[in-house]
Chains A and B, each alone.
Chain A
Amino acid sequence: MDTIKGIYNAVIEGKVEEASSGVQAALDSGTGVNDILNNALIAAMDLVGERFGEGEIFIPQVLWSAKAMQAGMDLLKPRFAPSDHAATGRVVIGTAKGDIHDIGKNLVAIMLEGAGFEVVDLGVDVPPERFVEKALEEKAQVIAMSALLTTTMQSMGEVVSRLKEKNLSHVKVLIGGAPVDQAFCEEIGADAYGMDAVDGVRKVKGLLGR
């Protein structure tokens, strides 16, 4: 089996050590960083995402795959050209003000990192102004917010309003969580709604044209 195929399979099967050793072997043999990234790691996670979307696999297996991908990415990142690194994107993520649930947010953060994004995790109960300040400070392209209750999702709209007030419409907003849907996304003027963690990553990629 060639090295690329081996890494690809290791990520799909969530085998962290095999993915890591495969990437190292590929680098040692002179395989290009972009070849490993696109044809092994990203291609594998794309298939994992598809399988999740089809209900063939579920979150635990996706997390294993994301961890395997992350292990490979850790070896690739130091070798990225500066332009490659900037191209992956930076996401500021957190749970909406008043909300202390973090599992969904954590899953999205892990999968975004696995997909190569830099993630700045603000934690839970994050005030709207904090999202905007941090996005500016970190030069993030995306703010991702999660809420579990109808009482806490309203603050997401405030983040969108603040971005508009500050003429920061280039910062895209992704929302998700149990009470949130596409209609609410449109109502508050957010850029995308992620119905689950995998869809969230897909939407971030879409927002950034990846």
Chain B
Amino acid sequence: MIATIPRDDVLKQIGYKTPPEEKLLHLLDEMLELGREYLDPLMRFEEIDGSRDLPLFLHGAALSYVALASIGPGLEGRVKEFFDSGRATEGYLLDTVGSVAVMHVGNALWAKMMEDAALRGFIKGLRRAPGCEGVPMEVQKWIVEKFHDPHPGIHVTPSCMLVPRKSFAFLGRFGGNLKSAFSCKGCPQFSGCTLRSENL
């Protein structure tokens, strides 16, 4: 699923448009290798059926899902160790590796969700995460609570933060009055995102 975390994606996430000095590339490769050791991906989605308290984003959908993606808690623990021991550059690089990894896990989960929807005859779908336009952060709790398993591997704090931190929740919708395909527009990071594909 995420056997490799592309080095270029991590560099783009940090801001580099051209490769930095060799010393940094070498350290980043070390952190990519280390990051792989700590990855414990979690990908879960469930269909939402007949809920009366649907977030606005799901209104009118013919098929709705909640989803949770994570890389587990191991990597962030190692990041903390780096910072605590004064190795901030390593900590920052590993943290960024984790951010890119969880994004890849999320994309893989979205692909699985689309496969499931396709089996039911739905081709076009949209996903959106809490914090994006029209989806308040409080929906984070709603998503976690919708899982039938009361311990889906990710929990939400009273202030709507997901734990482990390298996790994210999202909603998926298919059919109904859907008029467009997935787009990054509406994400609070849209204008400053370094990873977005041009067509999104």
**Contact A103-B159, Cβ < 8 Å, known A63-B88, A63-B89, A150-B137:** no
Of B16, B131, B161, chain A has the most CB atoms within 10 Å of the CB of: B161
Q: Shortest beta-carbon distance, B159 to chain A, in Å? A: 3
A58 touches B14 (CB 8 A): yes
Determine the chain A residues whose CB is within 8 A of the CB of B131 once the complex forms: 149-150
Q: Out of A61, A98, A148, A150, name the residue touching B158 (CB < 8 Å).
A: A98
Q: Shortest beta-carbon distance, A192 to chain B, in Å? A: 20
Q: Shortest beta-carbon distance, A68 to chain B, in Å? A: 11
Q: State which of B43-51, B91-99, B107-115, B172-180 sits at the interface with chain A.
A: B91-99
What is the 8 Å Cβ interface bit string for chain A, positions 54-69, against chain B (1 contact, 0 not)? 0100111101101100
Q: How many residues of B are counted as interface, with CB atoms below 8 angstroms from the partner's CB atoms? A: 28
Determine the chain B residues whose CB is within 8 A of the CB of A106 once the complex forms: 83, 88, 91
What is the 8 Å Cβ interface bit string for chain B, positions 131-161, against chain A (1 contact, 0 not)? 1000001100000000000000000011111
Q: Out of A58, A110, A149, name the residue touching B159 (CB < 8 Å).
A: A149
Interface bin, chain A: 20 to 34
A58 and chain B: residue at smallest CB distance: B15
Determine the chain A residues whose CB is within 8 A of the CB of B126 once the complex forms: none
Determine the chain B residues whose CB is within 8 A of the CB of A178 once the complex forms: 188-189
Q: Does A161 contact B (CB under 8 A)?
A: no
Q: Does B79 contact A (CB under 8 A)?
A: yes
Q: Does A179 contact B (CB under 8 A)?
A: yes
A101 touches B165 (CB 8 A): yes
Q: Shortest beta-carbon distance, B67 to chain A, in Å? A: 19
Binding site for B on A (CB under 8 A): 55, 58-61, 63-64, 66-67, 97-103, 106-107, 110, 148-152, 178-179
Can you name 15 A-B pairs with beta carbons within 8 Å?
A59-B92, A60-B20, A61-B20, A67-B89, A102-B80, A103-B95, A106-B91, A107-B88, A107-B92, A149-B137, A149-B159, A149-B160, A149-B161, A151-B160, A152-B161
